Structure 1
Amino acid sequence: MAGIGAMINSALGGLNVATTALQTTGHNIGNVNTPGYSRQSVQQSARLPQYTGAGFIGTGVQADGIVRSYDSYLQNQIWQGTANSSALSTLNGQLSQLNNLLSDPKAGLSPALNDFFTAAQSVANNPSGIPERQALISNAQVLAARFQTLDGRMNQMEQEVNTQLQERLASVNTLSQQIATVNQRIFELQGDASGQVPNDLLDQRDQLIARLNEEIGISVVRQTDGRLNLFTGNGQVLVAGSKAYELAAVPNAYDPTRLEIGYRSTGAVISNGISGGALGGLLRFRSESLDVARNALGRIAEGVAVHTNAQQRLGLDLNGALGGPLFSEPTPLVHANRNNGNPGASLSALVSDVSQLSASDYQVEYSGGVWQVTRSSDGQTVLTSGGGPLSFDGLTVTVSGTANNGDKFLIQPTHGAASAISVLSTDPAKIAAAAPYVSNPGNNTGLVSISTGAVVAASGDVNVPASAFGQDLTVTFTSSSTFQISSGSPAAVIASGAYVPGGTSISVAYPAGAGNAYWQVQLSGAPAVSGDSFSLTRAGVDENHNALALANLQTRNTLLGGSTTFGGAYGQLVTQIGTDGQQAQVGDKALANQLQQVKQAQQAVAGVNLDEEAANLVRFQQAYQASAKVIQVADTLFQSILAIKGA
């Protein structure tokens, strides 16, 4: 009788294990299309045998647990690959928009620049022509509008980044809370099940973490109690066990219109440590591409305005007056950190040398009685000074008030400058096409000649004061080695000097407001006798040298330390954004392929194979039937024994 009972117990164990295996196989088949599901299988082992005089007799089988097919290394690779791929995909999408904006052959800056300088050349060809002058003003307005349009679109892109940050952070918070909830549920169930793990919840948590990595790159730390802790790239906690820490879009400390990523509870900013996921891609696009593009475009706008206005101030308009500014000149933006002490210092900045401007912002901090200026683009300290004014990279910064220790400021020399440029004058008569003087030789018997004249920045050998600027001047040789300069009627000598055989320069200083400039001519050759003379007469409306100089600004190296033209600087910007976009596109495709390969490897381990599961169904069904047959045989034996005893 004892043997029959042992047979039944052994068979019941087989029935139970087969039933569990059939249920698990059915579960696998039902979840074949469930995202993130890992195939499960029953772990079974032989029960402890029973000792008899004949030896150890087996007592059947038992189910030790249900395990999922899982490879932690591959899962970590999927999480990391998802974060990196999402970041590059987002970056690629944003760069594509920016590249299309800047490189458009019709709506980009290049056509407007070319048309403006072509119009300036037309004025040089016909300096007194009102239609040509009006065309120059119209093209100046088109150029200013093009700057404004491009910068306005980039400003919209920055606001779109703000919007996407808010939307993505809402998703991050939802996923983080869900992971924290699942963490707690896993912890509770493992305790109730004496250490057995809820496989489906583990899959659910892994899938939530994968989705979270699409939004923000994270690292995962496993706790001994089965819960996971999640951190951002710089170690800022998102989920600690069963607690989720909410993130929020918080205003930048310098510019409240610019949103950063921080903790909702404290407002502490953690943007600098986020590199993966869509959020990392958005932040990278904004800081490495969009900010650079806006600054570079603003630098070109600043250069066009400053150099055009400077050239205008050196010429005469149709009314005979020195030219006024054609464009408004943008001024650098200065933002005080909202955490600065009060009252404190205030800073103002001006462009002192547009050719030295960089396409970068600057961090200015006052600490220990010293001002330190750091270039944001490369992190280099460009100036350390005990007081103002602060001069660096083509800027002059004036300090007012008393600074508190730790006060910080952000200076943006060209950010948004393209939106600030506009045309100040719409009067075609105020285009300063003429040079201030025309040099004419007299009836001379010697071999001395005089140049046509040009604007220079330094004084010459003999200088005429600015008070005489605009008056007709006469240069008369008093001997073969001396000359004097007179003006007015009756003529009055206002300057004199020695003539050096071979060449001497005469400079007429511009009035204040035109800059440190001089109209300069060169005398060369040798006078035969005293009395040889030359005249510097006020230019007429048909003079075109200043219009020529304005047109030639198109080919002058005026930016980046005097190394490139306006068009060259824009070409560099378009090339840089295009290269960044191409690299992001190639990287995006490469990472997507790598991620797909890792997912395939992970599916080879954890995925459900319907053919395999169908075979398992047959196998476990047969095992179930065989165990049932054992019970049937045991029952038959038992009934036979009862029949014998009854007889």
Structure 2
Amino acid sequence: GIAQVNALAAELAKLNVAIAAATNRGHKPNDLLDQRDELIRQIGQQVEVHTVMGPDESASVFVGSGQTLVLGNAAHRLVAMPDVNDPTRVAVGVNIGGYTTPLTTEAIGQGLIGGLMRFQDNDLSAARNQLGQLVAGLATALNQQQALGLDLQGQPGSALLRFTDAQALPAATNARDGNGAYLASVSLAITDASQLKASDYRLAVDPANSSQYIVTRLSDGEEFRPVNNGDSLDGFTITIGADAPQPGESFTLKPVSRAAGDLSLVLKSPRGLAAANPVTGVVNPANAGTASIAALDIEAAPVAGYQALTLSFTDDAGSYELLASDNSVVASGSFQAGQPIRHDGIALSLAGLPRSGDRIALAPTTHPAASNGNALRFDSMAQRLLIDGETVGDAYAHALADVGVRVQGAVAAADTSATVAARATNELTAEVGVNLDEEAARLIQYQHSYQAAAKLLQTAQTMFDTIIGLGR
């Protein structure tokens, strides 16, 4: 990691001093040069580097787009820092002389640190947004359905789950006041959880009109323009604060990425589960037709509260009037088979055919323990399109499949990198390393040459001794 790179860089700077001193004395410090190359190799395992060798054999190491990590006897430090645009993410920079220069993930390149940065920016971000999209969509739908029912005490259901709301995070370069607080502010509110996307967004001032904004969906790069204060997109609404962002300022919008982080169960008692329908329907036993109640659903809380109503059919063709308790007509229409009759958030589905004079009474539920209408609506949520046009089951399967594809891609990339690294190591070893078999063969060859030379000397000595003996 970063600490290891800093330790290796400091060691390399010290080694540069020793190498330069030996080289300047006319020596070839092969052992020190081997240590230098090994340190550079270990740094390269963490972050992509570029090296320049000096005339004294000292190594200068550069990272990113040319930022200095080691120069002669000076070693600079990599530092972890909050991302300029998104403080919830970690960025890497080079600290030179007390000034830190951020490095982009692309500039960091290959190596362990580069891999971790790409995982954070791509894989982890996508998985967090997909999980947050699931949580926000399902938790919102559960809470909404809970609020439409009655618990055992006859009270409207309270929230089941709680999760972190959508957030708008200012860029670190945005203007601040004297206390360090950001001047401009932006807030988000989820308005339709079923339309939320698994993505973060970037909001910036429109260069063509400083009172309007450009919002970019980061998952696919799609731009929304112009965006005004109070506009909605992808299931959330953007509200600009009293101090609007100025040209050059930006905000990272996070509708769903934090939703799963602190998801918690709010309702602790099972008696608080709103299983009962707040409205009960009763078919008049004297009806002449075959119409019966197939379903009585509450789609939204009525504006004026739940009131006693009577559905009265005025002819055999299905025309009806909806009567209040004083027999005044509050709505009218014509029943169509397969289509529910809707009024003020109530959806009544019928089976069979009504006849003229048939009546169905609708009244507030007085015995919630005997009703399970809202529990049936909870059960039907498995078939409803709650997550960006998909059911919860399908969206969950797609999220798992995406994670699986990313894992397989990472494994394949790791295997490819390992193969390339092994080939490079073999080529380096072939160029500068020692082949034991070859060296053994050469050793035998030199041994034979030595023995032949020794035999030659021995023969020459014998000849000289013989010649000297003849002269006597």
* Separation of aligned partners in 1, 2:405 and 2:192: 29
Map 1:145-294 to 2 at 5 A: 168-183=1-16, 186=19, 189-190=22-23, 192-193=25-26, 198-221=29-52, 228-240=59-71, 243-253=74-84, 258-264=89-95, 265-272=98-105, 273-294=107-128
* Aligned equivalent of 1:417, options 234, 252, 259: 259
Superimposed CA distance per residue, residues 557-580 of structure 1 (whole angstroms, 9 cap, x where no aligned partner): 311x21232x33333333332332
1:486 aligned residue (323, 328, 333): 323
Is 1:357–1:393's contact at 8 Å kept on the other side of the alignment? yes
Partner of 2:197: 358
Task: Give, in whole Å, the separation in 1 of the partners of 2:429 and 2:22.
Answer: 27
- Residues 444-484 of structure 1, C-alpha deviations (whole Å, 9 max, x = no match): 564372543444769xxxxx9742x4222223345667644
Whole-Å separation in 2 of the counterparts to 1:591 and 1:386: 44
* Map of 1:340 onto structure 2: 174
**C-alpha distance 230-424 of structure 1, shift in aligned 2 (>3 A):** same
Q: Which residue is 1:385 aligned to?
A: 226
Structure 1 vs Structure 2 CA RMSD: 3.7
Distance 1:399 1:484, change over 3 A: same
**1:592 pairs with 2:429:** no
How do 1:102-141 and structure 2 match up within 5 A? none
Provide the rounded CA distance (Å) in 2 between the counterparts of 1:319 and 1:494. Answer: 32
Which secondary structure does the structure 2 equivalent of 1:330 belong to?
Answer: coil
- The CA distance in 2 between the partners of 1:246 and 1:501, in whole Å, is 75
1:551 to 368, 379, 382: 379
**1:601 equivalent in alignment to 2:427:** yes
Contact 1:218 1:230 in 2 (8 A): yes
- Offset of 1:270 from its aligned partner? 0.6
CA distance in 2, matches of 1:553, 1:500: 26
Match of 1:396 in 2: 237
**Structure 2 equivalent of residue 374 of structure 1:** 216
Helix, strand or coil at the partner of 1:214: helix
Seen in structure 2, the aligned counterparts of structure 1 residues 484 and 403 have a Cα distance that, compared at 3 Å, is same
TM-score by length of 1: 0.60
Tell me if structure 2 keeps the 8 A contact 1:484–1:493. Answer: no
Q: 2: distance between equivalents of 1:257 and 1:177?
A: 30
Partner residue of 1:308 out of 123, 134, 142: 142
Q: Secondary structure at the match of 2:265?
A: coil
Aligned length: 442
Pair 1:486–1:465, CA change in 2 (3 A): farther
- Matches of 2:406 and 2:298, distance apart in 1: 41
Partner amino acid, structure 1, of 2:36? R
State the percentage of identical aligned residues.
Answer: 30
Q: Distance in 2 between matches of 1:526 and 1:398?
A: 50
**Counterparts of residues 435-584 of structure 1 (less than 5 Å):** 435-444=277-286, 446-447=288-289, 449=291, 451-455=293-297, 466-467=303-304, 469-477=305-313, 483-488=320-325, 491-499=326-334, 506-509=341-344, 517-521=345-349, 525=353, 527-528=355-356, 531-539=357-365, 540-541=367-368, 542-559=370-387, 561-565=388-392, 567-584=393-410
CA distance in 2, matches of 1:169, 1:323: 51
Residue pair 1:432, 1:546 contacting (<8 A) in 2 also: yes
- Which SS does the other structure have where 2:142 is aligned? helix
Equivalent-residue separation in structure 1 for 2:3 and 2:349 (angstroms): 70
How far apart, CA to CA, are the structure 1 residues paired with 2:154 and 2:313? Answer: 29
Q: Would you say the 8 A contact 1:472–1:535 is kept in 2?
A: yes
Alpha-carbon distance change, 620 to 453 in structure 1, aligned in 2, over 3 angstroms: same
> How much does 1:213 deviate?
0.8
SS at match of 2:42: helix
Partner amino acid, structure 2, of 1:572:
H
Distance 1:383 1:240 in 2: 46
The unaligned stretches of length 5 or more in structure 1 are: 1-167, 459-463, 510-516, 634-647
Return the letter of the residue paired with 2:266: L
- 1:385-415 per-residue CA deviation (whole Å, 9 max, x = no partner) reads 3531242222212110232322222222222
CA apart distance, 1:207: 1.7
Task: Please say if residues 557 and 563 of structure 1, whose CA atoms lie closer than 8 Å, have aligned partners that are also in contact.
Answer: yes
CA distance in 2, matches of 1:518, 1:598: 72
Residue 276 of structure 2 is aligned to residue 434 of structure 1: yes
CA distance in 1, matches of 2:336, 2:412: 67
**Aligned partner of 2:247 among 399, 402, 405:** 405
Deviation readout 1:182-215 (Å, 9 max, x if unpaired): 456555655553xx85444433322221111111
Contact 2:310 2:360 in 1 (8 A): yes
> Matches of 1:417 and 1:592 in 2, distance apart?
37
Secondary structure in 2 matching 1:570: helix
Cα separation, 2, equivalents of 1:328 and 1:285:
28
Q: Partner amino acid for 1:544? A: N
Which one of 297, 312, 316 corresponds to residue 131 of structure 2? Answer: 297
Indicate conservation of the 8 Å contact 1:218/1:231, yes or no.
Answer: yes
1:547 to partner: Cα distance: 0.5
Asked if 2 retains the 8 angstrom alpha-carbon contact of 1:438 and 1:452, the reply is no
- Aligned to 2:41, what secondary structure does the other structure show? helix
Q: For residues 214-261 of structure 1, what are the alpha-carbon distances to aligned partners after superposition, in whole Å with 9 as ceiling and x for unaligned?
A: 111223345677554433354433234554332212233356564321
Gapped regions of structure 2 (runs ≥ 5): 178-182, 461-472
Larger radius of gyration: 1
Counterparts of 1:189 and 1:414, CA distance in 2: 60
Which amino acid in structure 2 is aligned with residue 209 of structure 1?
I
User: Matched residues in 2 for 1:177 and 1:269: separation?
Assistant: 20
2:70 partner SS:
strand
Q: Output the CA distance in 2 between the equivalents of 1:563 and 1:361.
A: 20
Q: Which has the higher contact order (CA 8 A, sep 6+)?
A: 1
- Cα distance between partner residues in 1 of 2:32 and 2:225: 57
8 Å Cα contact 1:501-1:526 kept in structure 2: no
| Distance in 2, Cα, partners of 1:524 & 1:465 | 27
